[in-house]
A and B are shown apart, each in its own frame.
Chain A
């Protein structure tokens, strides 16, 4: 009986992710899209927990649901658009897009669903220790570079939105 918890959780999370994702793309209002995106992030965090990577899940919530969602919401707020019919939500190239995406979807589906590793994935101890060791010891240099990257992005973003004060 307890064995069924995992698959059940997985099924629920999957449905939520797919539905929310589709909702992001197809929603009527932008704010709906933004909130559904946040919901997707949360569910992904759940997936991480299911996989036993709690640290990553925590980071997911902190960064994605916390910072990035807020950023997106800021973006939504600062760029109001006049209301328009639903059809105009989609680019003129939608038919070409469909033409391309469908084959990709098929191929990806074929690849994904042909994955023949029946080994299960379970929590085998937390991931905090290995993660910390890797990041701060084996990948210390990329870690530092990443901080430089963040600095550059921050400065760049500020410069880009600065108004020229006369």
Chain B
């Protein structure tokens, strides 16, 4: 099956082409079926590949063809099949499949139905390329591809201006990050002579600390763009303008995890370049708490989830930074399930309310949307890291790794963020599903979603419940550690061998943090002790700061965007005045030269005869001069 690994991206690619070429005219609703089936087939093959890797084929390279062969520079289109990539393949294909099925229902009435599945299939193709690539350049192809599809899908409803603006913002920020990736890749080539993973990682020793740090920081900068960390995160909340399945797939489960995957894959480099991991960890932790604080006060249900995603991605980078890449990937997998579920559930709510996203108009929906309610409850619990749900196992490992690795400050930040996380998810659930309905008209017409949407919710919920225990228990020695350990853990990162007691105490603290957050949320919203409105009034300026997202967008707009506009204006002026001016002047010069020479054409024949005679004079002078010996030959 491993030899057939290239079928995995081939099916979505075929779906893209078929849906793209024939979807509008002939296939209509079948575009969704074709696309979903394609991803389903990919998922089956991914399962097969996973089982084979499990069975012992720990590292295989499956080459498709030689892509670039110039002198000594050779790059193949080849797939690296090892535990890390097989896990990623599994996560991407399975979650994508469920979201595709869901989208058949969610997008049913949209007139861009076929276009949606076309772009979504292309996205899955690009993401799979990204995950499977055996070298940085091919990975970059997938990296760019997912950025493109993100742009296309965020701006899916381009008839309105907001989606289009958000799509542009996402793409530009991604692009800025891509600059980092490119520098990393080029430096890698210059230092190692190759961009193939195996070549680079085996020869880490030949690079200097300075080179390695440069490469790692550059790659990490690219990761911040793709995975929405500080400073390139502000595109993700705006990306909620896209359809909810897009938010679920691209901005929760897959594309935003590409940055995490990049760092995890490049662990040998990061481990050897000391300060880079510290940067990764700190940025991750700061982003996590930063985003969590903003999520506390958002009213749009999708915005809450978006900031939650940024925050959870921060957790993953924190894990990478403290030397626990296995924990990061573990959390990536569990987060894919429960965050996708949260988004799809939100989508179900929005769908059931006919498009309303403001939680202030919701309330008491648990009676009207029972399946959605119960599945989202499970996902919310996972997000708050309640045992035995999946989120607990993965988040707890990250928190423990921070403590055991000797980073008490980061550990404290992680615990605090966990409290905030539990609080905001409780708040979101309560405002949406509990209490008295605040808009009776909406409430009357609310309805549960059709089976094609609720079944994926149930499937994801099942994963949320089971996944953590299945692969993460017992902590530090569970299946995922044995599976990914050899690949992801590298020398230089402390191997933890903690005692059981330490683990239990740390776990207890994590759970306590989550419970604290939930209790605080319930207290404020159920019993109004203290009353949320009073708290926001009391917090005053701090509250305004949070609601306005720390004014980061405004800051970026004024400082960076305006400055760039000025620079571009200058360049445009240069082009118009200097370059065009030069061309125009040259033309004017030719015309002026012509018209001044035109005065020789007097039209009087005698003048022309005069010039002939003048020439004669010249000839005579020259000949006479030669004859008389005035000019030497």
Binding site for B on A (CB under 8 A): 91, 93, 96-97, 100-101, 103-104, 107-108, 110-111
B614 interface residue (CB < 8 Å to A) = yes
- Bound: A93/B606 CA distance, A: 8
Residues of chain A within 8 A (CB-CB) of B1 are: none
Interface centre among B610, B616, B621 (most CB of A within 10 A): B610
B51 interface residue (CB < 8 Å to A) = no
B613 interface residue (CB < 8 Å to A) = yes
Chain B, residue nearest A103 (CB): B617
The 4 closest A-B pairs by CB, nearest first: A91-B606, A107-B620, A104-B617, A100-B613
Binding site for A on B (CB under 8 A): 604, 606-607, 610, 613-614, 616-617, 620-621, 624, 627
Q: Are B624 and A107 in contact (CB under 8 A)?
A: yes
Q: Output the least CB separation between A104 and chain B (Å).
A: 5
**Given A103-B617, A104-B616, A104-B617, A96:B624 Cβ within 8 A:** no
- Bound: A101/B616 CA distance, A: 10
- Bound: A93/B610 CA distance, A: 9
- Bound: A41/B624 CA distance, A: 30
Q: Output the least CB separation between A115 and chain B (Å).
A: 12
Residues of chain A within 8 A (CB-CB) of B627 are: 111
Interface centre among B604, B607, B616, B617 (most CB of A within 10 A): B617
- Bound: A110/B621 CA distance, A: 12
Residues of chain A within 8 A (CB-CB) of B604 are: 93
Q: Are B620 and A104 in contact (CB under 8 A)?
A: yes
**Among A97, A103, A110, contact of B610 (Cβ-Cβ < 8 Å):** A97
Main secondary structure of the interface of A (DSSP, over half): helix
Chain B, residue nearest A101 (CB): B613
- Bound: A103/B617 CA distance, A: 8
Residues of chain B within 8 A (CB-CB) of A97 are: 610, 613
Q: Are B614 and A100 in contact (CB under 8 A)?
A: yes
Chain A, residue nearest B613 (CB): A100
**Among A93, A96, A108, contact of B620 (Cβ-Cβ < 8 Å):** A108
11 contacts between A and B (CB under 8 A): A96-B610, A100-B610, A100-B613, A100-B614, A100-B617, A101-B613, A103-B617, A104-B617, A107-B620, A110-B624, A111-B627
Q: Are A104 and B624 in contact (CB under 8 A)?
A: no
Q: Output the least CB separation between A113 and chain B (Å).
A: 13
Residues of chain A within 8 A (CB-CB) of B610 are: 93, 96-97, 100
Residues of chain B within 8 A (CB-CB) of A107 are: 617, 620-621, 624
- Bound: A110/B623 CA distance, A: 12
Q: Are B624 and A111 in contact (CB under 8 A)?
A: yes
Q: Output the least CB separation between B508 and chain A (Å).
A: 115
- Bound: A104/B615 CA distance, A: 11
- Bound: A103/B604 CA distance, A: 23
- Bound: A107/B613 CA distance, A: 13
- Bound: A108/B623 CA distance, A: 11
- Bound: A120/B343 CA distance, A: 123
Q: Output the least CB separation between A41 and chain B (Å).
A: 23
Q: Output the least CB separation between A99 and chain B (Å).
A: 10
- Bound: A100/B616 CA distance, A: 10
Residues of chain A within 8 A (CB-CB) of B621 are: 103, 107
Chain A, residue nearest B628 (CB): A110
Q: Output the least CB separation between B84 and chain A (Å).
A: 94
- Bound: A103/B610 CA distance, A: 14
Residues of chain B within 8 A (CB-CB) of A101 are: 613
Q: Output the least CB separation between A158 and chain B (Å).
A: 23
- Bound: A111/B619 CA distance, A: 13
**Among B606, B607, B613, contact of A104 (Cβ-Cβ < 8 Å):** B613
Residues of chain A within 8 A (CB-CB) of B620 are: 104, 107-108
Residues of chain B within 8 A (CB-CB) of A108 are: 620
Q: Output the least CB separation between A91 and chain B (Å).
A: 5
- Bound: A121/B620 CA distance, A: 27
**Given A107-B621, A107-B624, A111-B624, A93:B607 Cβ within 8 A:** yes
- Bound: A60/B606 CA distance, A: 29
- Bound: A111/B625 CA distance, A: 11
Q: Output the least CB separation between B554 and chain A (Å).
A: 78
- Bound: A93/B604 CA distance, A: 10
- Bound: A90/B63 CA distance, A: 95
Q: Output the least CB separation between B608 and chain A (Å).
A: 11
- Bound: A96/B602 CA distance, A: 15
Residues of chain B within 8 A (CB-CB) of A96 are: 610
Q: Output the least CB separation between A56 and chain B (Å).
A: 26
- Bound: A91/B606 CA distance, A: 8
Residues of chain A within 8 A (CB-CB) of B614 are: 100
Q: A100-B610, A104-B613, A107-B620 are in contact. List 11 more A-B contacts (CB 8 A).
A: A91-B606, A93-B606, A100-B613, A100-B617, A101-B613, A103-B621, A104-B616, A104-B620, A110-B624, A111-B624, A111-B627
Chain A, residue nearest B614 (CB): A100
Chain A, residue nearest B625 (CB): A107
- Bound: A104/B620 CA distance, A: 8
Q: Output the least CB separation between B617 and chain A (Å).
A: 5
Q: Output the least CB separation between B590 and chain A (Å).
A: 29
Residues of chain B within 8 A (CB-CB) of A104 are: 613, 616-617, 620
Q: Output the least CB separation between B108 and chain A (Å).
A: 85
Chain A, residue nearest B617 (CB): A104
- Bound: A100/B606 CA distance, A: 13
- Bound: A128/B627 CA distance, A: 35
Chain A, residue nearest B627 (CB): A111
Chain B, residue nearest A107 (CB): B620
- Bound: A28/B613 CA distance, A: 25
Q: Output the least CB separation between A110 and chain B (Å).
A: 7
- Bound: A107/B614 CA distance, A: 13
Interface centre among B604, B607, B620 (most CB of A within 10 A): B620
Q: Output the least CB separation between B504 and chain A (Å).
A: 116
Q: Output the least CB separation between B401 and chain A (Å).
A: 101
